[in-house]
Structure 1
Amino acid sequence: MTMGRTAVSKEVLLQYAMIMEDWIPKDAAIAIAIGEHYVYYAAGLHDIRLKEGQVIRPGSIADRVIMEQRKVDTIMDNSLFGVSYYGIGYPIHLNGEPGALVVILPPNYHVLKHEPFRFLTGKQQDDWSLLPVEQITHIESLQKKTWFYAENERFNTSHTLKDLHLRLPNTFLRIHRSYIVNIPSIHRISRDFSSNLILILKDGTELPVSQTYINEVRKVLGF
């Protein structure tokens, strides 16, 4: 494959990609740019539909890495590829020519890198309470507000359900667009009159599982 002044073999590019696969998330895409073009692209679950041979666009992560010769770590909007993404670019050299290796991830990946919440602050009337996440049984989105439940009490939080889904430990499972459940709080799994799944918590609360999340629930809970 020839791009600009440098001929780079497919085997060399695959070696770079294989090294990256040992430590990057499995859903990541990988792009390699040399000179003025992208010479390699392997799509992940988050695919920006980049093409080998495509010209490097000004302002892209690859362009900045090559120009500045440093690691670039940023969120990109959809103006360049029609898809927003979070990218990490690394300077490389192939056959003496500067290039960039770019790891492409979903735009919310930078949130996932942060340490999970260890407690939530909830409001009741004019008071705020700090609750360890282990004490929370489930979380609910209701009437444009988010509520979490602990020790048979309800607390209002400023976080959205989407934010909490990203930042809570993996014991918390999204089961419905309006519900997240803490797995240790589940007592048993049943069905309603329409054969839809219902999670019955240890405190007697019943939470529906929507069709959107049923496969994930089955996979995580192992049934």
Structure 2
Amino acid sequence: MNNELKSFGNDISQQYILMLQDWVPANSSIAIAVEHSYIYFHPGHQDIQLKIGQQVMPGSIAEQVLRTHKKTDAILDNSLFNTPYYGIGYPISIQDKPAALVVILPSTFTMKKAEPFQFLTGKQEEEWNPVAISKISHIESLQKKTWFYVDKEQFKTGITLKELQLRLPPYFIRIHRSYIVNIHFIKKMARDLTSNFIITLTDGSELPVSQSYINNLRSALEF
């Protein structure tokens, strides 16, 4: 990493911290990424193991900001730092290079911000159907669209999986980058031939569990 860029980034970061102290909790973490790696990290109370020079991971807030050059927020995930987090990312520039400023807050902060959804409105062809959350077996992200399922019927919603995760009741568990499942509809869990976990729902649907989310499932179902 360019030492001059790192030093300059550190000076700029301290200025941002002074400004951010007026509106973010004192226990927030702050990270700055330039191009493809992090040049600064100010840890809060979260157990986030982020090091200077670490590469920006695909799907992270920083990666989305660097790719789109737009503000990114309402992200709740635990696949990137092994702990749930809520973050807001801002596009900035350091030495004429595109950069991302990311403020990371504990997940508890997010959950206090909004009440859980009681229903979702899904679209089938040209009809919109309000559906009680408790009746939804699982939610899927497919081809950049979000779908939820009720008795094997498929409904489309404009709300992203990450946005939904902020507002779903606690009995919905993220098990994969592409799936959130209602634990009340889980029939069984087993390993396949490659030792990966597969969830079978009461309607017969089979959903994969990625290694990044297996601890979510173990914690929720205590197995």
TM-score normalised according to structure 2 size: 0.56
Deviation of 1:192 after TM superposition, in Å, equals 1.0
Paired position in structure 1 for 2:22: none
Paired position in structure 1 for 2:156: 156
Look up the equivalent residue of 2:46 and give its one-letter code: L
Higher RCO, 1 vs 2 (CA within 8 Å, ≥6 residues apart):
2
Q: Is the 8 A contact 1:112 1:167 kept in 2?
A: no
Look up the equivalent residue of 1:29 and give its one-letter code: N
Deviation of 1:43 after TM superposition, in Å, equals 3.0
Runs of 4+ aligned structure 1 residues displaced above 2 Å come to 75-79, 82-86, 105-112
Look up the equivalent residue of 1:187 and give its one-letter code: K
Identity among equivalent pairs (%): 50
Paired position in structure 1 for 2:198: 198
Q: Is the 8 A contact 2:123 2:156 kept in 1?
A: yes
Deviations 1:11-39 (A, max 9, x none): xxxxxxxxxxxxxxxx97179xxxxxxxx
Deviation of 1:182 after TM superposition, in Å, equals 0.3
Paired position in structure 1 for 2:113: 113
CA distance in 2, matches of 1:113, 1:159: 17
Deviation of 1:152 after TM superposition, in Å, equals 1.9
Paired position in structure 2 for 1:140: 140
* Inter-CA distance 141–28: structure 2 relative to 1 (3 Å threshold): farther
CA distance in 2, matches of 1:124, 1:216: 31
CA distance in 2, matches of 1:28, 1:78: 22
SS of match in other structure, 1:149: strand
Paired position in structure 1 for 2:102: 84
* Inter-CA distance 119–45: structure 2 relative to 1 (3 Å threshold): same
Deviations 1:65-109 (A, max 9, x none): xxxxxxxxxx78586xx74337xxxxxxxxxxxxxxxxxx35994
Which has the higher Rg, Structure 1 or Structure 2? 1
CA distance in 2, matches of 1:209, 1:107: 22
* Inter-CA distance 195–148: structure 2 relative to 1 (3 Å threshold): same
Q: Is the 8 A contact 1:175 1:217 kept in 2?
A: yes
- The answer to whether 1:167 aligns with 2:167 is yes
Deviation of 1:135 after TM superposition, in Å, equals 0.1
CA distance in 2, matches of 1:207, 1:196: 11
CA distance in 1, matches of 2:113, 2:127: 31
CA distance in 2, matches of 1:140, 1:30: 31
SS of match in other structure, 1:212: helix
* Inter-CA distance 107–185: structure 2 relative to 1 (3 Å threshold): closer
Give aligned pairs, total: 144
Alignment of 1:15-164 (within 5 A): 29=27, 43-45=44-46, 77=90, 83-85=101-103, 105-106=105-106, 109-110=109-110, 113-164=113-164
CA distance in 2, matches of 1:108, 1:174: 16
Look up the equivalent residue of 1:189 and give its one-letter code: M
Q: Is the 8 A contact 1:188 1:199 kept in 2?
A: yes
Which ranges of structure 1 fall in alignment gaps of 5 or more residues? Answer: 1-26, 32-40, 50-74, 87-104
* Inter-CA distance 215–181: structure 2 relative to 1 (3 Å threshold): same
How large is the Cα RMSD of the aligned pairs? 3.3
* Inter-CA distance 208–107: structure 2 relative to 1 (3 Å threshold): closer
CA distance in 2, matches of 1:206, 1:218: 18
CA distance in 2, matches of 1:206, 1:134: 19
SS of match in other structure, 1:29: coil
